[in-house]
Amino acid sequence: MRLHVIGLGGAGGRIADRLAGEHGDAPFLAGAHAFDTDMDALGALNALGEERRYRFSDAAGGDGLGGDLHAGRRLGDAHASELGRAMDDQQPSLAEAFLIVVGLGGAAGAGAAPALAAELSRLYDAPVYAFGFLPAHDETVEPDDDGPPSAASAAAGGAGSPGDEPAPPTTHRPLAERNAARTLDALSDECAAVFPFDNGAWIRPSETLAGARERLNRVAVERIAALFGAGETPEGTATPQQVLDASDIARAVGSDGQIAAIGHATQAVDAPDSGSRFGLGLFGSSEPAEVDTSAAVSAIETVIRKATRGKNTVEVSEGHADRTLLVIGGPPAWLNREAIADGRRWLAEETGSDAILSGDAPVLDGDAVSAVVVRSGIDEPDRLREIRETIE
């Protein structure tokens, strides 16, 4: 699908910038912009050119908003049309979906996100999705409070081996959880679906959020690209048997602002020694490649189970979901049809979903088999419940 990504605020801008740097030439990335009130945050971006970075609101004086979500909402309402026009250079009317990426505990990005989502929905027929980072616990406690290991480790410099530079301390944001709760509610009203990313669940015991940020950003970009890039293959490559398009993703995640989780897993495999590049008859070849069937079945089963039961972008209670999407990728010779069908059946039992949507993403020169599992309409994760309780 043709996806237009908008990074709002510091966290969102870093993700949009990384997507542009790592996937700027990929067919799925139709456009990428970063919008912020903070000049320094925009200036720190590397891959997005100046024409893709835009500071809005002179009222912020070129700085952030210090956690004031209400000020962010006012700025969003006042500047949503302006931000929509700032995207025109990349022809957003051609996009099949928009993805707003934002730190949910902030003020500028979180405040502006609902208004921008509403503006994009007004202007275009394509669905608007949100990918939002949940605040970690050590952002909301005072530095000398008794907190989880990640907070305590800040004084020791966070993660790293002996001799490494100490990680910068995590910023104290006492309003982050309340901002996140209010922003989640607002985005659910304006977006087709919301993909939360639970920072706290991904931080290792010895890390601070600041020390883990690079790794977490890498995981987030990997999962965004794995999902939204699955249906787009460069010209001259293998054609998927089950083509995944924008309507399939829309059907899987829904249109009522529900919470969705992304699971992803890969397993390295050997390239087939000989035979057709389309192997195992998956694409109608009469010359199967020399890939052991049991090895292909094992690889596909492994990645499906890891993507489902491994760490998702947000917790999926008991694995259940109203709707589920499965995408299997890798060298065509490894994409065994029977194994994929068995995986679908297992996934249906695991999630309790009435129907499993699926697609494949063949990679001719790939060296790994991968699975993307997206579940929507999940029971509210514990972390989201904790955050929502801060405003009850």
Tens of pLDDT, residues 66-97: 789 999 999 999 999 999 999 999 999 999 99
Q: What is the CATH number for 102?
A: 3.40.50.1440
User: Do 205 and 112 sit in the same domain of this protein?
Assistant: yes
From the list 52, 122, 44, 133, the residue with the least C-alpha distance to 88 is: 52
User: Do 181 and 296 sit in the same domain of this protein?
Assistant: no
Q: What is the CATH number for 276?
A: 3.30.1330.20
User: Do 291 and 162 sit in the same domain of this protein?
Assistant: no
User: Do 54 and 124 sit in the same domain of this protein?
Assistant: yes
Instruction: List, as residue ranges, the binding site.
Output: 139, 199, 217
Q: Is residue 388 part of a domain?
A: no
Q: Is residue 47 part of a domain?
A: yes
- DSSP element (H, E) containing 386: helix 382-389
User: Do 199 and 269 sit in the same domain of this protein?
Assistant: no
Q: CA-CA distance, 378 to 83, in Å (whole number)?
A: 32
Give residue 57's pLDDT. 83
User: Do 177 and 295 sit in the same domain of this protein?
Assistant: no
Q: Is residue 252 part of a domain?
A: no
Q: What angle do CA 389, 221, 141 make, to 5 degrees?
A: 35
Q: Is residue 382 part of a domain?
A: no
User: Do 54 and 144 sit in the same domain of this protein?
Assistant: yes
Q: Is residue 137 part of a domain?
A: yes
Q: How many domains does the chain have?
A: 2
**CB pairs under 8 A, 24+ apart, for 182-186?**
182/69, 182/391, 183/69, 183/102, 183/104, 183/110, 183/111, 183/113, 183/114, 183/132, 184/104, 184/132, 184/384, 184/387, 184/388, 186/113, 186/114
User: Do 128 and 58 sit in the same domain of this protein?
Assistant: yes
Distances (CA, A) of 50 to 40, 42, 385: 13, 9, 39
User: Do 69 and 214 sit in the same domain of this protein?
Assistant: yes
The predicted-structure confidence for 344-363, as pLDDT tens digits, reads as follows: 999 999 999 987 899 888 88
Give residue 216's pLDDT. 97
Give residue 78's pLDDT. 95
Instruction: List, as residue ranges, the binding site for GTP.
Output: 139, 199, 217
**What residue spans of 207-336 are helical by DSSP H?**
209-228, 246-253, 293-309
Give residue 139's pLDDT. 74
Domain limits for position 61: 3-229
pTM over cut 0.85 = yes
Where the chain has pLDDT below 70, the residues are 59-64, 140-171, 231-242, 272-289
From the list 76, 118, 137, 58, the residue with the least C-alpha distance to 382 is: 137
Give residue 92's pLDDT. 96
Q: 191: which DSSP letter? A: S
Give residue 286's pLDDT. 44
User: Do 265 and 225 sit in the same domain of this protein?
Assistant: no
